[in-house]
Structure 1
Amino acid sequence: MTQTSFRNTGTRPAARFDDAVRAAVEQGLLGERGAVVGFIDIDGVRESVAALRDAFAATPDVLHTFAAKAASLIPVLRLLADCGMGCEVAGPGELRLALDAGFAPSAIVLDSPAKTREELRLALALGVAVNADSLQELRRIDELRSRDTVSVLGLRVNPQVGGGSIGAMSTATATSKFGVALRDAGAREAVVQAFADRPWLTRLHAHVGSQGCPLELIAAGIAETYRLAEEINERLGTRRITSLDIGGGLPVNFDDETVRPTCADYVAALTEAVPGLFDGRYALVTEFGRSLLAKNGFIGALVEYTKDAGGRRIALTHAGAQTATRTVLMPDAWPLRVGAFGADGRPKEGPALAQDIAGPCCFAGDVVAHGRELPELHEGDFVVLYDTGAYYFSTPWAYNSLPRPAVYGFRAAAADGSTDVVFAPVRDAQSLDSIAAESGLAHANALIEPGGASSRPS
């Protein structure tokens, strides 16, 4: 198996994934027993983290956190912790996953636009960093915070620099639900006053968006946040703000194997837009997610049937909206590359044929790729959806009560003088018993038994 690194070349070695598909089929992980499976490239993840660290190598004080929502799988999070990453979480579930994965509370950052009092109490008790999303939330923290908490506390601001090409991924628009909108009347002064009133408030946070947001837009938002930090410190006559959380949002190229933009491109854009950002006066926090994991994972799926309809060839697989939700619902914004593999798990060859790759969900729009030119697929072949290491198989949609797919990590390992692919379980395929339990099996008679409707949760 090829061991070429993409850390410096910026290109994902295709042979790694080809070998992993072949081995997964040969070992029975992908096939009738596993009709749809997610795979994570362990070495690729480590290389992506190393590339991020290389890009920020000249920065005196930086904490790189991984956005847990991008791959909310404990073994993946533990791998990232082992790489020296911190973790950004957006709710109590993700906080629990981060703690179970082994992240130190001091390396965890809690972000969310609607934190409950209980979430805040727990974070403050643990010493987790918290970015308040609003001035109202700051007042809630006033009530809950004890003097001995070690949590770093910040305030998220919305620099309102505009949106990218995908509105749902743009968080610095004029009406975004995130942060304090700096250009609204009186908002900037209110933020300055909030810091003046709270000596314990020491961090500013901003996140412009992710997919569809160009580097120039991201840099503009961070530059505005930096200027606000400088203004607050100057007006207060003290170095009140000591750190900046600059978020994540590096977009992913879904067109081919190339990693672009790179982390080095990102740092270069920030250096040009905000020359003082990296001089060490402010500690930095980053929150990358998709850009670290997307190209380090893929979905493999068995072709169950093929058919023709209205002159169109359709390959029906088990990878549909339940595991590629964004692509199915917004195909133009989230297109995926598709690979065709034979029943032996090896790349197919032959004349290209325009084919739809459809999923198992019971609605007409469940198509992950339209009219793709691929070698003709047949029952028993396999398709691979590339660039799905983030937000896809790790965050499935329970439509039609379809079970969550199994996930495996993989890497090459030499044994007996030969090289083969070794797999490690990340998440077991969901059982039908689990689906029934999640669907209220324990309370099956609650709505038909006398008094059942009046019962209270324990």
Structure 2
Amino acid sequence: MVLPADDDTRPTGGTRPTCVDRSAGFDRSARVPAALRRAVADGLIGEDRPLAAFVDVQGVRDGVAALHGAFAHVPDVLHTFAAKACALVPVLRLLADAGMGCEAASPGELRLALDAGFAPARIVLDSPAKTRAEIREALALGVALNADNLAELERVADLRPPGCASVLGLRVNPQVGGGTIGPMSTATAHSKFGVALRDPGARERVVEAFARRPWLTRLHAHVGSQGCPLPLIAEGVAALHDLAEEIDARCGRRQVTSLDLGGGLPVNFDGDTVTPTYADYVSALTAVRPAVLDGRYRLVTEFGRSLLAKNGFLAARVEYVKDAGGRRVALTHAGAQVATRTVFMPRAWPLRVSAYGPDGTPKDAPRLRQDVTGPLCFAGDVVAHDRPLPELAEGDLVVLHDAGAYCFSAPWAYNSLPRPGVYGFAFRAGGVGFVTVRPAQTLREVSQESGLAQADALLDGFTDPSRP
């Protein structure tokens, strides 16, 4: 049965009924088949709904608990969730209820964070191209803000109101190098983010900027996540710590009071094992710079993918199968519109694919090398190339694992495909229960989003007939 969505819109922090969750005895590999079978039975996925997304509620809570546990010995930490990883209000509210803050990288994400119930003091705004209006709003709300560059810092100084409650910081680029995925590496020599610390004169300008502004108390750096090994991430954190010590020494006072350790953990897309863990991350920091964790500086973290990726999956119906060039091709409804990175960078972002029958039970058939493709009208829309899978047939289902981050809330609108429904699931006394996180988009809503109300605007919408 599909459970009704929780209509409680109170900010987090109030008393809520606690649901009994029976998933603790299930490992992740068992949760997915159980949830899929029930989703098929309840009509959440099938011929009329050929694509759907699912969030493991207990898995998310377990991830947050693991994060807090790894840092339990650190005196003062604010763990924020990078909203871009899953920018859905019910998911954000779940994370807030579990004890997370929120990192926003756009005015839209800031709005979502506020609507999800995060207190402004537990939100960090990191957008690299903030307008004056965005800065004013953040400062008026008391949201923490990291300026991306020295020019933005001047704007903040001009717009900062008397008695401003916002914690204000500056993003620096430690230029420690990139990982294995170039576009995901943010601490390279030519990165667009932050003040490039190793450029001539840049470090001195940063130190001077802090010395002239007693209200500037936070340093922020982001090395990257996927494709970045832990030693590289730790090197970036150590560089941030060194700069904070230098600033405090120059100022002759406790100027920097917090360090924002941007970026997250790489995710293992090869299997169900969670590696590296948050404990591994803490160990890497301890090995390189134990003083980061001694409590002198308040820490802020910004994990996203590592909290959600393994706690979500996509299920898609196989619409057709055919052979082309000696290889089987399965045409499904999950392609680049939901797995954009996988389609365009398959080696960097491979997703595991599993085969299920129409009733949601795992397929038990000889394996055949197959391409699993999506519905978009371009040849490269392939989510799995030459993958050995049980032979797929029309009406079967494929599951894309580890899709809980970046796949649900940032669909690509190519071919005007409707966004899939997103459902949260939990194991209760009566079995698997579902709630709607985001309803499936209707075709009418697609048209409305594409200017339906202004359909005649280009024909007779101009007040001056002489205008082209």
- Same topology, TM > 0.5: yes
Name 1:398's counterpart in structure 2. 413
| 1:221 paired to 2:245 | no
How do 1:214-293 and structure 2 match up within 5 A?
214-293=229-308
2:330 to 298, 302, 315: 315
Name 1:9's counterpart in structure 2. none
1:354 to 358, 369, 387: 369
Secondary structure of 1:408 counterpart: strand
Shift in CA distance, 446/333, structure 1 to aligned 2, threshold 3 Å: same
1:157 to 146, 156, 172: 172
TM-score by length of 2: 0.94
Name 2:181's counterpart in structure 1. 166
Q: Is the 8 A contact 1:170 1:208 kept in 2?
A: yes
Name 1:147's counterpart in structure 2. 162
How do 1:2-151 and structure 2 match up within 5 A?
3-4=23-24, 13-151=28-166
The CA deviation string for residues 268-312 of structure 1, in whole angstroms up to 9 with x for no partner, is 000111110111100000000000000000000001111111111
- In 2, distance between residues paired with 1:380 and 1:129? 49
Q: 1:199: Cα distance to partner? A: 0.5
Q: Is the 8 A contact 2:211 2:250 kept in 1?
A: no
Number of residue pairs matched by the alignment: 446
2:426 to 387, 402, 411: 411
Amino acid at match of 2:450: S
Shift in CA distance, 18/453, structure 1 to aligned 2, threshold 3 Å: farther
Secondary structure of 1:95 counterpart: helix
Secondary structure of 1:349 counterpart: coil
- In 2, distance between residues paired with 1:270 and 1:212? 18
Name 2:10's counterpart in structure 1. none
- In 2, distance between residues paired with 1:201 and 1:451? 50
Moved over 2 A (4+): 1-6
Q: 1:235: Cα distance to partner? A: 1.2
Q: Is the 8 A contact 1:254 1:387 kept in 2?
A: yes
The CA deviation string for residues 28-74 of structure 1, in whole angstroms up to 9 with x for no partner, is 10102221000000000000000000000001000000000000000
Amino acid at match of 2:435: A
| 1:364 paired to 2:379 | yes
Amino acid at match of 1:222: V
2:440 to 429, 432, 436: 429
Amino acid at match of 1:128: V
- In 2, distance between residues paired with 1:66 and 1:374? 35
Q: 1:432: Cα distance to partner? A: 1.3
- In 2, distance between residues paired with 1:339 and 1:197? 58
Q: Is the 8 A contact 2:23 2:426 kept in 1?
A: no
Percentage identity across paired residues of the two chains: 69
Amino acid at match of 2:275: R
Q: 1:13: Cα distance to partner? A: 2.3
How do 1:291-302 and structure 2 match up within 5 A?
291-302=306-317
Name 2:3's counterpart in structure 1. none
The CA deviation string for residues 397-434 of structure 1, in whole angstroms up to 9 with x for no partner, is 0000000000000010003xxxx110010000111121
Secondary structure of 1:313 counterpart: strand
The CA deviation string for residues 69-126 of structure 1, in whole angstroms up to 9 with x for no partner, is 0000000000000001000001110001000000000000000110000000000000
Amino acid at match of 1:446: A
Amino acid at match of 1:61: D
- In 1, distance between residues paired with 2:410 and 2:426? 23
Secondary structure of 1:206 counterpart: strand
Q: 1:5: Cα distance to partner? A: 6.0
Shift in CA distance, 179/378, structure 1 to aligned 2, threshold 3 Å: same
Q: 1:363: Cα distance to partner? A: 0.1
Q: Is the 8 A contact 1:5 1:47 kept in 2?
A: no
TM-score by length of 1: 0.96
The CA deviation string for residues 172-224 of structure 1, in whole angstroms up to 9 with x for no partner, is 00000000000000000000000011000000000101110000100000000
2:345 to 305, 308, 330: 330
Q: Is the 8 A contact 1:447 1:453 kept in 2?
A: no
1:209 to 190, 202, 224: 224
Q: 1:164: Cα distance to partner? A: 0.3
Shift in CA distance, 42/276, structure 1 to aligned 2, threshold 3 Å: same
Q: 1:395: Cα distance to partner? A: 1.1
Q: Is the 8 A contact 1:155 1:205 kept in 2?
A: yes
- In 2, distance between residues paired with 1:137 and 1:83? 33
Secondary structure of 2:281 counterpart: helix
Name 2:211's counterpart in structure 1. 196
- In structure 2, stretches of 5+ residues that fail to align are 1-20
- In 2, distance between residues paired with 1:178 and 1:90? 12
Name 2:458's counterpart in structure 1. 447
